A and B are shown apart, each in its own frame.
Chain A
Amino acid sequence: MIRACRALGIEAVAVYSEADATAPHVREADAAFGIGPPPARDSYLNVAVLLRAMKESGADAVHPGYGFLSENAAFAEAVCDAGAVFVGPPPPAIRAMGDKAAARRRMLEAGVPVTPGTGLLGDVEEAVVAAGALGYPVMIKASAGGGGIGMLPCEDEAQLRRGFASAASRARSSFGDGSLYLERLVHGARHIEIQIAADAHGGVIHLFERECSIQRRHQKVLEEAPAPNLRLEVRDAMGEAAVRAARAIHYQNVGTLEFLLAPSGEFYFMEMNTRLQVEHPVTEWTTGIDLVQLQLRLAAGEPLGLAQADVKQRGHAVELRLYAEDPAKNFLPSPGEITRLVWPSGPDLRVDAGVENGSKVPPFYDPLLAKLIARGDTREAAIARAREALGALVIEGVKTNAALLARVLDDPAFRRGELSTSYLSRLLQRKPG
């Protein structure tokens, strides 16, 4: 983000909690403001302190990144009310997609297919009746949910009865809202998402798809573009649906429509991320469009300057997410100090890292350490480059998922592009080697 600002001649101000005082982004920015103690609620989620940093620094705009308050409509409103520009969609568009059950209704009205499901459920008895009509297996989902929290698959009525109350209480404690609904669970489905961009003048385009099926705990581990083995007419239909969805909520700036793709070729809207995605680099490298620069331009009111036909997908890109966690212990996080670190480097490789040699990885935030993005003319070439980069990576002091990433890249099923959201759990059930 700092580099995108520089490229456009914009000064960048970073904010940091006490745990991140020595982080690389603090040094790279033109100015940096401390915003409080390590726990996120006291710093990165503290709107009053963030607004003070904004005013004191004289910033004209706020880029919310892709975590914390990036999908918080109240924060976006507070930034606008303070006279600055929020680099993201208008608050009503964030709100329209933040309530997952309401978003499903809006999408149905706009002609975007959604997974068969229910409205909000009053209690477990209502859920049991609704699930009977819907057909098992079903997935319990939290209306205010995100990041997989509050989601629970149920194969039958007994599981639904057992899980309903705890899903509601988890949703209540995590999001302050315990409302639940059900969706039919689609077996063998892939998670494919469409990147869109919209300006303030009615222009909406999509920037093609990303394949994001490889996940643990409903969080992505490896993403790529284009999606392997995706029929062109299905891809185009998804792109058109994504543009319709964005128009329906008067969206502006960049955003992502997440779809489930069933083995039949039918696809269903899951949710929209009203912000930049972690995996945006694979789109940047296959379309040649810098999404952060585009965000800044759109936030400044500029038109897209691109028609759909101008956006071309070229070559292939793969992103590996390096997490501080132990796959052998059910992905238990592994905070600590990085005692030795050598990033791979070279052509067709990009490393977006939040840590460096000697960094302390604090227990307060997400375990994502870095993203390794590789590209090639073909999928095989991009995978080979990614594999080579992993081989050259040295990281000691914290446990990481690097060996698991290598196993995925070496797996013949992955290489054949045989993917579904249960891919990783199946791979882990098999013995390594």
Chain B
Amino acid sequence: MATNVEAQITGSVWKIEKAAGEAISEGDVIMILESMKMEIPVEAPLGGRLAEICVSEGQSVDEGAVLAVIE
């Protein structure tokens, strides 16, 4: 079962903290978004393996965009 991690806000990708293939636990910060001068950490909703990072640093993202996939 794959779970999509979505952006909860429109903004840009400031920093990616994890790499595809890594094992992650629930609550781990996968990446940090930036919106309106605020850093917004994107946390893993569940533990598993990070199958894919779908964005790159500096990229603009809309609310609801898929940022990463956890298996």
Chain A residues with CB under 8 Å of chain B are 39, 147, 217, 324-325, 332-336, 363-367
Q: B40's contact among A217, A332, A336, A364, by CB below 8 Å, is which?
A: A332
B12→A363 contact, CB < 8 A: yes
CB-CB under 8 A for A39 and B9, given A333-B36, A363-B35, A366-B37: no
Q: Is B2 an interface residue (CB 8 A)?
A: no
Chain B contact patch, size range? 10 to 19
CB-CB under 8 A for A332 and B12, given A324-B36, A366-B37, A367-B36: no
CA distance A147 to B39 in the complex (A): 13
- Whole-angstrom distance from the CB of A12 to the nearest CB of chain B? 26
B12→A333 contact, CB < 8 A: no
Chain B residues in 8 Å Cβ range of A363:
9-12, 35-36, 60
Show 29 residue pairs from A and B whose CB-CB distance is below 8 angstroms, ordered by the A residue: A39-B12, A147-B37, A325-B36, A332-B8, A332-B40, A333-B9, A333-B11, A333-B36, A333-B38, A333-B40, A334-B9, A335-B9, A335-B10, A335-B11, A335-B35, A335-B36, A336-B10, A363-B9, A363-B10, A363-B35, A363-B36, A363-B60, A364-B36, A365-B36, A365-B37, A366-B37, A367-B36, A367-B37, A367-B38
Which of A336, A364, A366 has the most chain B CB atoms inside 10 A of its CB? Answer: A364
CA distance A23 to B59 in the complex (A): 24
CA distance A333 to B36 in the complex (A): 6
User: What is the number of contacts between chain A and chain B, taking CB atoms within 8 Å?
Assistant: 37
CA distance A217 to B36 in the complex (A): 14
Chain B residues in 8 Å Cβ range of A333:
9, 11, 35-36, 38, 40
- Whole-angstrom distance from the CB of A322 to the nearest CB of chain B? 13
Which of B10, B11, B35, B36 has the most chain A CB atoms inside 10 A of its CB? Answer: B36
Quick one: which of B11-62 are within 8 Å of A by CB? 11-12, 35-38, 40, 60
CA distance A336 to B38 in the complex (A): 16
A332→B37 contact, CB < 8 A: no
Chain B residues with CB under 8 Å of chain A are 8-12, 35-38, 40, 60
CA distance A333 to B33 in the complex (A): 11
Chain A residues in 8 Å Cβ range of B36:
324-325, 333, 335, 363-367
CA distance A366 to B36 in the complex (A): 5
Chain A residues in 8 Å Cβ range of B10:
335-336, 363
- Whole-angstrom distance from the CB of A100 to the nearest CB of chain B? 19
CA distance A39 to B11 in the complex (A): 11
**Nearest opposing residue in chain A for B62, CB measure:** A363
CA distance A39 to B37 in the complex (A): 11
CA distance A39 to B9 in the complex (A): 17
Across chains A and B, which 7 residue pairs bring their CB atoms closest together, nearest first? A333-B36, A367-B36, A363-B35, A363-B11, A363-B10, A333-B35, A335-B10
- Whole-angstrom distance from the CB of A354 to the nearest CB of chain B? 13
- Whole-angstrom distance from the CB of B29 to the nearest CB of chain A? 12
- Whole-angstrom distance from the CB of B11 to the nearest CB of chain A? 5
Chain A residues in 8 Å Cβ range of B35:
333, 335, 363
**Nearest opposing residue in chain A for B14, CB measure:** A173
- Whole-angstrom distance from the CB of A145 to the nearest CB of chain B? 14
**Nearest opposing residue in chain B for A217, CB measure:** B38
CA distance A333 to B12 in the complex (A): 13
Which of A217, A332, A363 has the most chain B CB atoms inside 10 A of its CB? Answer: A363
